[in-house]
Structure formats: C-alpha cells, structure tokens
Chain A
C-alpha cells in the first residue's frame, strides 16, 4: 500500500534554531499533504494544508511565519519550525491522500517526528 515517510523521526535542537521536517510520499504523488501537531496525550490538531505549486493553507491560530511549509514537488512537503522554542516541542505528523480516490480514500500517515526544543 501507499507509504508516507518522515525525516527525521526525532530531533533535539536548541532554542532559537530552526528545524526542517520532511514528508515524502514514497510510491504515489500527492498534490496535497496535511501537517498535524500532537501534544502529549492529546489528539491531532491540523496545522496546515500543503499544496503543491501554491501557498499552504494554515488553520486559524497557526503562525505562518513560524511554521513554514513548502510543497517542493509532488512527493515532498517540508515543514520548517523557525526560531524554535520549548513550547514548540511536540509530535509532528504529516499525511497524504492518494490522488483520484475522492472522499472515500483514507489518509496515509507518516510515522511522525518528535521535536524537542531545549
């Protein structure tokens, strides 16, 4: 089946630095990818929709300048957390729907990236 990968799987960084997280669809093309954030013991919260060839769509309350999203190709979306702070520590998950399957298709989720900001 379709596979979505994320890299890195975990990252530790110092406060004030930027971190880039990659999301790749391995055997299919994804014009749209979604980025979620999951706090410990909480649900996934949609952060933004990444659109290949156009700007990302951010959910209300998500800072565009802090969470930069670039959908560089049909198989790659990146999320860059700029000037990271400890409160940005979280589990970031991406997903992608295979194209052409309408609303009935499932999302394929990446394994997640755990970010810890010291």
Chain B
C-alpha cells in the first residue's frame, strides 16, 4: 500500500543554516506529493506541492523536487529563520486510493537565534 517515510526529528538548527528534511514514498499509482507545516497549536497549512515527476514545488524559500527515480520529495531551505520553527509533514495523495492522504510521521524543526 501507499506510505510515506520521513526523516525523524527533532531537528535543531541555528538561524541561517541550511535545512534538509528527507521524505521518500511508496505509491501504487502516480501520486501528488505535498509538504504541510503545522505551527504550535494550529492546524496544517499547505507549504508546497508537486503533481508529477520532476516538478519542483516552492514557497517561502522552501523547495522540494518530485523525484520518481528515487521516490523522494526532500524539503530544503537555504537559510532558515526562527519563524520556521514548526512541525513539517510530507504527504501523498493517490487517485488510485480515492485521494486520501498518507502522511509521514512529521519532523519537528527548532531554529535558534
């Protein structure tokens, strides 16, 4: 079945450091891939998405490229800020499974000044 494997945290970085959060997936069909962010006490917000192989999603300085050959969708940011502290979830949606979402376990990021 479909699944998402995400790098475990927590991750602690200094401000302006480079961020990578690894995500790999297993899917029956051709899924869409997403990164969601959850700030403390809040719901999930879509950060970025990619709908087909080689697509790059980007938003707020974050990027992720849909790599079909490695079944990966790693999240990167060149220079993190304190305000980026949150939990990040990798997810996929697969038409063959009725568009339901499969989430990774989440990676907690703390950025220190």
In the complex, which residues of chain B have a beta carbon less than 8 angstroms from the beta carbon of A107? 93, 99, 101
CB distance from A51 to the nearest CB of B (A): 10
How many residue pairs between the two chains, A and B, have CB atoms under 8 Å in the bound complex? 60
Contact B101 A46 (CB under 8 A): yes
Question: Residue A106 contacts which of B31, B46, B87, B104 (CB distance < 8 angstroms)?
Answer: B46
A-contact 0/1 string along B39-56, CB 8 Å cutoff: 000111110010100000
In the complex, which residues of chain A have a beta carbon less than 8 angstroms from the beta carbon of B65? none
Contact B89 A103 (CB under 8 A): no
Which residues of B come within 8 Å of A, CB atoms?
29-32, 34, 36, 42-46, 49, 51, 87, 89, 93-96, 98-106, 108
Which residues of A come within 8 Å of B, CB atoms?
32, 34, 41-44, 46, 49, 93, 95, 97, 102-107, 109-112
A46-B102, A103-B99, A111-B43 known, 16 other contacts, Cβ within 8 Å: A32-B98, A32-B99, A34-B101, A41-B87, A41-B106, A42-B105, A42-B106, A44-B89, A44-B103, A49-B98, A93-B43, A103-B31, A105-B99, A106-B34, A106-B93, A109-B45
